[in-house]
Amino acid sequence: MCEYYTHRAGGLLAGALVLQVMNAPAQMWPGALIMAVVASAVPDLDHTQSKAQNAPLNELKNNIPIAGSMAGKIISVFLKIGRKLTGKREATHSLLMVFLVWWGVQRVWPAIPPPILYTLVAGLISHLGIDIFNPEGVRLFWPVGPKISLARVLPWPFTFKSGSRIERFVLRPALWISSMWIIIGESIISNTH
pLDDT of residue 186: 85
138 and 7 in contact (C-beta within 8 Å)? no
Residues 54 and 141 in one domain: no
| pLDDT < 70 stretches in the chain | 1-3, 47-89, 193
Residues 140 and 170 in one domain: yes
Residues 128 and 143 in one domain: yes
**Long-range contacts of the stretch 182-190 (C-beta < 8 A, 24+):** 182/13, 182/16, 182/17, 182/20, 183/12, 183/16, 183/29, 183/33, 186/16, 186/19, 186/20, 186/26, 186/29, 187/26, 190/26
Expressed as residue numbers, the domain containing 68 is: 48-86
Residues 82 and 110 in one domain: no
pLDDT of residue 60: 46
Rounded Cα distance between 54 and 46, Å, is 11
